[in-house]
């Protein structure tokens, strides 16, 4: 039973070391990626019809303000509108549009798909009252979306009948504490890995525990299996040279003990 | 003792690491998206107030401007029947100032927002109140938005009747339910308005068990119809019909039950000239039908009636709280 416990503790130590190292690497990688400002940015460049929709699955998935930046390759006008997700989707309707649905952290991938096949409402939607905030620009427009109790979406259009063309969409979250959290995670991982490795090293160097005199042959056989040949050889030599009587865990035969007693006198 | 503590220490270490990983998942702030909230107003109160201000500013501009600029301002401020009424008034006033009467929505001041419809369905409405600068009776307004790409505009405006009061609505941020289908009301709005319209017709028609209280507006309508019929009795017959404009009813639930019901009705006055007789058309008629000063056969005048009822929740009769009318069309030969 003690052997099983020892194996489990060694296994746990190894596991802790591995997880600690992984946490250290990930934390360090995240800290480098975020930088001291704690900024996580995701970008995608796509060919876009008249409308682009950055959905609530992206914006509401984060507990910090999101900066949405849409940049047209041709430098044309860009209009951004923020609305409740239901309202934004209602305004877009079946218009052909690029839907930005998800971002993946830490890979940085952005999932987007082209949907809708109806008549574009790009020129009409600007007149609605569903837009909580809007932003316009030439070539690029930017809008910062704060977390809200209700899901929000951002819609981008050219503000006219023309398609947006090739568009680069960047979503950026910034939270200074994220950098320090990543550093803390790396430090925690490093600490755990160091402790676990230290424990493993200590456990491997520790001598094999001795057995009591009442130990059975089966026990001795077990010890013999775990010990190295060199150790067994040394023990055997020591027993022959210094026969100091029956020792715990040795296999000195009963008749040899008399010799030992004579020699000691 | 040390041997028994080792597995526990290792387990604690693993738990610590796992908790560190959990914290790491929030490094980029990722979290489950919130569920859509439907029991709120779709507009924040400041946004809603800004929309109301925009509509009434445009209404005021339509009053002061002329030509295409005035037309554009009217189209920004009004929609549907209210736009029809505003255009007709402008046309009548262009013939003779004051001929179009004084529709309440056209001279508003300091609009107050009373209610915003709840949820994210369509159409959406807002209830506002203005107090004309002249110090006359307050005016109730209904602003509507039929879909996400059409802005809110004034759809119905009606002057409150003397001694009438409007009970409060749910908080603006919470929004007020639209109960146009009659849910939770003593009488369905459509039934109420159809019965009310029928009760106003001339020759008068008795309505059995009306679900509304007698009101001064109806009394005045009936008296004017009888007076009109009497004044032209020698030259023509006279009938007056009232009908509810389809899609022109909106009921906004009030706090504690009941609803404020806005409705549009169309009144048609018909003159059937007797053989060998003729009628002299009034100024309002000739303003809408230029060159037609004599009626020898038949004439009709169409007036929009904008009414607001207070409908109780469980039982009891509805009460007319506000009403206005505007002549919008005429035809004759």
In chain A, what are the domain boundaries?
2-28+180-205, 39-174
Q: Is B255 on the interface with A (CB under 8 A)?
A: no
Distance between CA atoms of B56 and B139, rounded to whole angstroms? 12
Nearest-angstrom CA–CA distance, B176 and A52: 32
**pLDDT above 70: residue A50:** yes
Between A60 and B30, the higher pLDDT residue: A60
What mean pLDDT comes out for the span A98-108?
86
Q: What is the mean pLDDT of residues A95-120?
A: 88
The confidence score (pLDDT) of residue B203 equals 95
B46 touches A at CB < 8 Å:
no
Assign A123 a pLDDT band (cuts: 50, 70, 90). confident
Whole-number pLDDT of residue A187: 93
Which 3 state secondary structure label does DSSP give A168?
strand
Residue A144 region by backbone torsions, left for phi larger than 0, else alpha for psi between -120 and 50, else beta? beta
Contact A165, A48 (CB under 8 A): yes
Percent of chain B with pLDDT over 70: 86
Confidence of residue B8 (pLDDT cuts 50, 70, 90): very low
pLDDT at B28 over 60: no
What pLDDT band is residue B133 in, cutting at 50, 70 and 90? low
CA distance B273 to B333: 10
The reported pLDDT for the residue numbered A61 is 73
- Is residue B313's pLDDT more than 90? yes
Using pLDDT thresholds of 50, 70 and 90, give the confidence band for residue B22. very low
Q: How many CB pairs under 8 A join A and B?
A: 140
Contact between B2 and A9 (Cβ < 8 Å): no
At B102 the pLDDT is 61
For residue B312, what are the contacts with CB-CB under 8 A and spacing of at least 6?
B185, B186, B257, B258, B318
Highest mean pLDDT: which range of A107-121, B12-26, B208-222? B208-222
Chain centroid to CA A50: 37
Measured between CB atoms, does A149 come within 8 Å of chain B?
yes
CB-based burial label for B30 (10 Å; 0-12, 13-18, 19+): middle
Output B322 or A234, whichever has higher pLDDT: B322
8 Å CB contact of B24 and A181: yes
The pLDDT-based confidence of A106 (bands split at 50, 70, 90) is: confident
Task: Note whether A185 contacts B18, CB cutoff 8 Å.
Answer: no
pLDDT exceeds 60 at position A75: yes
Predicted local confidence at residue A261, as pLDDT: 38
Q: Is A37 on the interface with B (CB under 8 A)?
A: no
CA distance B26 to chain A (A): 8
Q: Chain A 202-221, CB below 8 Å of chain B: which residues? A: none
Let me know how many helices (H) and strands (E) chain A has, helices first.
7, 10
The residues pairing with B302 across neighbouring beta strands, listed in sequence order, are: B268, B329
Break chain A down into helix, strand, coil percent, rounded to 5.
40, 25, 30
Most confident of A40-54, A156-170, B299-313: B299-313
Collect all residues of chain A within an 8 Å Cβ-Cβ radius of residue B6: 5, 9
Please answer yes or no on whether B13 and A12 come within 8 Å at the CB atom. yes
Q: Which residues from B are below 8 Å from A198, CB to CB?
A: none
Q: What is the pLDDT of residues B208-259, one digit of tens each?
A: 889 999 999 999 999 999 999 999 999 999 999 999 999 999 999 999 999 9
Check whether B113 has a pLDDT greater than 90.
yes
Give dist(CA B68, CA B53) in Å, integer.
22
pLDDT higher than threshold 70 for residue A150? yes
Instruction: Check CB contact under 8 Å for A16 and B10.
Output: yes
Which pLDDT score, from 0 to 100, does residue A211 have? 52
Contacts with B, A 116-135, CB within 8 Å: 121, 124-125, 127-130, 132
Q: Measure the CA–CA gap between A188 and A185, rounded to whole angstroms.
A: 5
Q: Does residue A202 register a pLDDT over 70?
A: yes
Report how far residue B264's alpha carbon sits from residue A137's, in angstroms, rounded to the nearest whole number.
Answer: 43
If pLDDT is split at 50, 70 and 90, which confidence band does B107 have? low
Spatial separation of the C-alpha atoms in residues A55 and A142, rounded to whole Å? 16
Rounded to a whole number, what is the distance in Å from the CA of B182 to chain A's nearest CA? 26
pLDDT band with cut points at 50, 70 and 90 for residue A235:
very low
Instruction: Out of 2.130.10, 3.30.160, 2.60.120, 2.60.40, select the CATH number for domain A39-174.
Output: 2.60.120
Three-class DSSP category at B88: helix
Contact A87 B148 (CB under 8 A): yes
- Residue A263: partners with Cβ closer than 8 Å, 6 or more residues away: A243
d(Cα B115, Cα B149) in Å, to the nearest integer?
A: 21
| Residue A4 confidence (pLDDT) | 79
Across the interface, which of A56, A106, A185 has its CB nearest the CB of B20?
A185
Share of chain B above pLDDT 90, in %: 71
Cα distance from A56 to chain B (closest Cα, Å)? 7
Q: Work out the pLDDT band at A225, boundaries 50, 70, 90.
A: very low
Using CB atoms, pick whichever of B21, B30, B148 lies closest to residue A105.
B30
User: Which of A62-66, A152-156, B82-86, B153-157 is least confident?
Assistant: A62-66
Cβ-Cβ contacts under 8 Å, A123 against chain B: none
Residue A5 near chain B (CB below 8 Å): yes
Q: Tokens standing for A57?
A: 């699955």
Q: Which of B15, B47, B148, B151 best tests the A interface by mutation, with the highest count of A CBs <10 A? A: B148
pLDDT at position B176: 97
Backbone angles phi and psi of B143, in degrees to 5: -105, 135
Confidence of residue A241 (pLDDT cuts 50, 70, 90): very low
Q: Cα angle vertex B72, ends B71, B74, to 5°? A: 65
How far apart are alpha carbons B176 and B39 in whole angstroms? 9
Q: Give residue B142's pLDDT.
A: 97
Gap between the Cα atoms of B317 and B180, Å rounded: 17
pLDDT surpasses 60 at A210: no
Average pLDDT, chain B: 88
Distance from CA of A201 to the nearest CA of B (A): 14
Q: Which of A63, A150, A173 sits opposite B37 (nearest CB)?
A: A150
* Lowest mean pLDDT segment, chosen from B152-156, B267-271, B287-291: B287-291
Q: Which of A120-124, B93-97, B138-142, B162-166 has the lowest mean pLDDT?
A: B93-97
The residue-averaged pLDDT of B109-132 equals 92
**Tens digits of residue pLDDT in A166-195:** 999 999 988 888 888 888 999 999 999 999
Question: What's the CA gap between A44 and A50, in Å, rounded?
Answer: 17
Residue A33 contacts residue A186 (beta carbons within 8 Å): no
Considering only the C-alpha atoms of chain A, give the largest distance between any 2 of them, rounded to a whole number of Å. 114
Interface ipTM = 0.83
pLDDT the model gives residue A226? 42
Cβ–Cβ gap B10/A23 under 8 Å: no
* pLDDT given for residue B97 in this prediction: 75
CB < 8 Å to A62, chain B: 28-31
Mean residue pLDDT across chain A: 79
Q: How many whole angstroms separate alpha carbon A143 and alpha carbon A78?
A: 11
CA–CA dist A52, A54 (Å, integer): 7
> Mean per-residue pLDDT for B35-48?
86
Neighbours of A137 (CB within 10 A): 16
Nearest to B34 among A64, A128, A150 (CB): A150
- Give the nearest chain B residue to A190 (CA atoms): B17
Split at pLDDT 50, 70, 90, the class of A217 is very low
């Amino acid at each position: 039973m003690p052997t099983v416990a020892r194996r489990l503790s060694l296994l746990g130590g190894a596991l802790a070391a591995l997880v600690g190292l992984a946490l250290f690497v990930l934390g360090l990688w995240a800290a480098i990626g975020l930088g001291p400002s704690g900024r996580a940015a995701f970008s995608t460049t796509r060919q876009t019809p008249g409308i682009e929709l950055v959905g609530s699955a992206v914006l509401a998935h984060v507990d910090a303000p999101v900066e949405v930046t849409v940049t047209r390759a041709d430098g044309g006008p860009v209009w951004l509108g923020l609305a409740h997700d239901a309202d934004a989707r209602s305004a877009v309707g079946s218009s052909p549009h690029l839907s930005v649905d998800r971002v993946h952290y830490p890979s940085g991938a952005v999932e987007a798909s082209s949907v809708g096949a109806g008549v574009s409402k790009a020129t009409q939607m600007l007149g609605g009252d569903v837009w909580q905030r809007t932003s316009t620009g030439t070539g690029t427009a930017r809008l910062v979306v704060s977390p809200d109790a209700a899901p929000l979406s951002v819609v981008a259009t050219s503000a006219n009948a023309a398609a947006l063309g090739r568009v680069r969409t960047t979503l950026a979250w910034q939270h200074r504490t994220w950098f320090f959290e990543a550093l803390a995670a790396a430090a925690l991982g490093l600490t755990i890995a160091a402790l676990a490795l230290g424990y493993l090293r200590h456990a491997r160097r520790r001598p094999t525990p001795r057995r009591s005199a009442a130990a059975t042959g089966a026990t001795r056989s077990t010890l013999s299996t775990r010990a190295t040949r060199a150790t067994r050889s040394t023990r055997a030599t020591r027993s022959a040279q210094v026969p100091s009587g029956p020792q715990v865990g040795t296999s000195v035969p009963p008749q040899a003990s008399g010799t030992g007693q004579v020699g000691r006198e | 003792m040390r041997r028994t503590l080792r597995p526990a220490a290792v387990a604690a270490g693993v738990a610590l690491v796992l908790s560190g990983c959990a914290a790491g998942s929030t490094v980029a702030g990722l979290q489950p998206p919130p569920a859509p909230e439907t029991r709120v107003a779709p507009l924040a109160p400041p946004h809603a107030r800004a929309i109301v201000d925009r509509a009434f500013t445009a209404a005021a501009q339509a009053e002061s401007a002329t030509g295409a600029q005035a037309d554009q301002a009217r189209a920004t401020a009004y929609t549907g029947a209210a736009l029809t009424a505003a255009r007709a008034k402008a046309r009548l006033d262009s013939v003779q100032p004051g001929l179009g009467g004084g529709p309440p929505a056209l001279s508003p001041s300091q609009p107050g927002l009373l209610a915003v419809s709840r949820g994210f369905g369509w159409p959406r409405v807002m209830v506002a109140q203005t107090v004309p600068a002249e110090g006359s009776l307050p005016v109730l307004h209904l602003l509507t938005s039929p879909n996400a790409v059409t802005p809110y505009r004034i759809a119905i405006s009606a002057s409150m009747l003397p001694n009438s009061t409007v009970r409060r609505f749910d908080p603006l941020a919470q929004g007020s339910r639209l109960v146009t289908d009659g849910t939770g009301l003593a009488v369905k709005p459509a039934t109420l308005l159809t019965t009310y319209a029928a009760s106003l017709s001339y020759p008068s028609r008795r309505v059995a068990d009306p679900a509304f209280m007698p009101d001064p507006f109806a009394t005045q309508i009936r008296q004017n119809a009888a007076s009109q019929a009497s004044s032209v009795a020698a030259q023509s017959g006279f009938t007056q019909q009232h009908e509810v404009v389809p899609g022109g009813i909106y009921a906004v639930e009030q706090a504690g039950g009941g609803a404020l019901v806005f409705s549009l009705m169309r009144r048609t006055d018909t003159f059937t000239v007797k053989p060998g007789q003729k009628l002299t058309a009034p100024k309002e008629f000739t303003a809408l039908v230029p060159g037609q000063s004599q009626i020898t056969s038949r004439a009709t005048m169409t007036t929009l009636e904008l009414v607001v009822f207070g409908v109780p929740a469980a039982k009891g009769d509805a009460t007319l709280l506000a009403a206005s009318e505007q002549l919008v069309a005429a035809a004759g030969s």
